[in-house]
A and B are shown apart, each in its own frame.
Chain A
Amino acid sequence: MEQSTSLPMNPSPTIQRDYVVRTLGITRIYHMGSEKTHALRGVDLDIFRGEYMAIMGPSGSGKSTLFNIVGGLDKPTEGMVFVDEVDIAALDSYELAWLRCRKIGYIFQAYNLLPMLTAIENVTMPMTFANVDADDARDRAYDLLQKVGIGHRWSHRPGRMSGGQQQRVAIARALANNPAIVLADEPTANLDLHTGADIIAMLKELTQAAGVTVISATHDHKMLDICDRVVWIRDGQIDRVQRREDLDIHVGQIEEAETSH
């Protein structure tokens, strides 16, 4: 059942076959005083364009580290990470900011909207960073807010919105610059069951329409249910990669149905 890490996984037939993310032998070592902690020990992972990928693993497994590296938030100690054919491990901080702005959208567990800005200003912000013309940015932000179903609250500040509404604004913000990847870090963890389901359905709808790849760190079975593949991380290595069909998902728990392909 242990799979060697870079075996070609068969993507779902509907998915185009080019890669949006490829990692080659990434390791990440944290230095704590004289002690070295190996968060990742050589991870090779390919993610196809338009795919839904979940990253799972117990805490301390290196899951977050992998997630952050793929998202351009952290750099590997060794190895290469290609996002849209660019080795982001070799980029300096200025170039990384550029990449995060235009190629990656982020959805956070705690929404992370800027409290001093209104909904539409929050959605406009990444476009402003990308030098989009102010009027165009505003129009697009308004369209996106309409799409996520809160166009009528465009002038409200996050403090006056419910969690679900804030996460909708966050989704609109993540899609503002037409990213290639959306990184979703436990996007439904702070939401109730019903709202979480709404958010996931909306995310799926919007990203699929735009052909966006979604990479998610989640334990939410609703989220896993719409994933094409699940990567299991254990001890800083890929334990296995499973397609959804091979997962047996029940409400409240996740089990492996059959692991031998």
Chain B
Amino acid sequence: MNEPVPLNSGPLLQQLQDDTSGLSNRMLLSLAMAGLRVRLLRSAVTILSVVLAIAFLTYMGIAGSIERNVASSVVELERTFASNSDGDRNTSGTSSVTGALNDARVKHLNHEQAQDDANRMRFLLRRNGTSVETALSGSSTNTWLITMALLTCTVGVWNAMLMSVTERFREIGTMKCLGAVDSMVIKLFLFESAFQGLVGAIAGVILGLVVALTAAVLQFERFGWTRFPVDQLGKVVCMALIVGALLAVIGAAYPAFIAARMKPVDALRTEE
């Protein structure tokens, strides 16, 4: 009775080949969301670390360009009143028409205004420990600071996701018993982390903008408003969002791999 050894050609294998097994991304996403809801406090802490890193990134980006804008308007204003005073000399020599006199008076007023602004901005820059030249040249220490902040945050996410994986061994094992394949487990954890990263990045961008604006107004008075880098805003926000999601995914990559490699037998272990 031991002799009939059926080979792997049964109906099961046929079905297996026909089947394109998988769980839709939408389902995985809602599963990831449910997981985050249950562990709300922990995911909030993970999100917080992303918030801080991205707020820092946004702040550095915005504050840097405000400083640069202020410095470059100093240069611009000084150039204009330099050329204006040349023009004054020319016009005063050739014309005595009343219109020209009015023009000159307006120019003179603008001239004084511009000079005041430029001097004020120079002073404010100096008060903040920088100068027109340094602000324009941009500093490489900032880049290092930002990189370090992002790295620290990635390690934080890594740690949080590793904990999440070890805590959920039984859960993952159960899912594998029910038929989850490795790629689903990986996707589940990456989705979870990417979502946390994105939420953290959005909150971080808002926080960073608020802080950067407040600081700009405190440091540069009304120039903080008027020299606000509207053109840079979109770029900085987009970059912050992408970086936030990306660092969360990078941090989750190894933990997700660990989770996927877990054996379903572990689900049978009864200890909590």
Contacts and interface: CB of A to CB of B under 8 A. Distances in A.
Interface of B: 1-2, 5-8, 10-13, 15-16, 19-23, 27, 31, 34-35, 37-38, 170-171, 173-182, 184, 263-265, 267-268, 270, 272
Nearest to B178: A126
A105 to B, nearest CB: 9
Contact of B8 (A6, A90, A113): A90
Contacts of B10: 84-86
Main secondary structure of the interface of B (DSSP, over half): helix
A130 B12 CA distance: 13
A98 B16 contact: yes
Nearest to B180: A129
26 contacts: A24-B5, A44-B2, A64-B268, A68-B265, A68-B268, A80-B5, A84-B12, A87-B7, A93-B181, A97-B21, A97-B180, A100-B177, A100-B178, A100-B264, A101-B179, A108-B174, A109-B268, A112-B171, A114-B175, A115-B38, A115-B171, A116-B34, A116-B38, A129-B178, A131-B21, A173-B178
A73 B23 contact: no
A99 B176 CA distance: 11
Given A24-B5, A85-B12, A86-B12, A112 B265 contact: no
Q: Is the interface of A mostly helix, strand, loop or mixed?
A: mixed
Contact of A8 (B1, B11, B23, B37): B1
Interface in A117-145: 117, 121, 125-126, 128-131
A171 B162 CA distance: 31
Given A73-B263, A116-B35, A106 B177 contact: yes
A115 B38 CA distance: 8
Given A86-B12, A106-B174, 12 more contacts: A8-B1, A73-B265, A97-B176, A97-B180, A98-B179, A99-B12, A100-B178, A114-B171, A114-B174, A115-B171, A116-B35, A121-B34
Contacts, number: 117
A97 B179 CA distance: 5
A95 interface: yes
A46 B6 CA distance: 14
A102 interface: yes
**Max count, chain A CB within 10 A of own CB: residue among B21, B176, B268:** B268
Would you list the 7 A-B pairs with minimal beta carbon distance, nearest first? A101-B179, A129-B179, A85-B10, A116-B34, A116-B38, A112-B174, A85-B6
Contacts of B177: 73, 100, 106, 112
A110 B23 CA distance: 26
A8 B1 CA distance: 8
Contact count band on A:
35 or more
A117 B11 CA distance: 33
A8 B2 CA distance: 10
Contact of A24 (B2, B23, B263): B2
A256 B11 CA distance: 41
Contacts of B21: 94, 97-98, 101, 129-131
A46 B7 CA distance: 17
Nearest to B265: A73
Contacts of B265: 68, 73-74
B12 A129 contact: no
Nearest to B36: A116
A136 to B, nearest CB: 15
B179 A100 contact: yes
Interface centre among B174, B178, B181, B265 (most CB of A within 10 A): B178
A99 B8 CA distance: 13
A185 B178 CA distance: 15
B2 A101 contact: no
A121 B33 CA distance: 14
Contacts of A98: 16, 19, 21, 179
A165 B268 CA distance: 19
A230 to B, nearest CB: 20
A175 to B, nearest CB: 12
A249 to B, nearest CB: 25
A154 interface: no
Given A8-B1, A86-B13, A106 B178 contact: yes
A82 B7 CA distance: 9
Contacts of B15: 102
A131 B22 contact: yes
Contacts of B5: 24, 80
A129 to B, nearest CB: 4
Nearest to B20: A131
A98 B21 CA distance: 8
Given A115-B171, A131-B22, A6 B178 contact: no
Contacts of B170: 110, 112
Interface in A4-31: 6, 8, 24
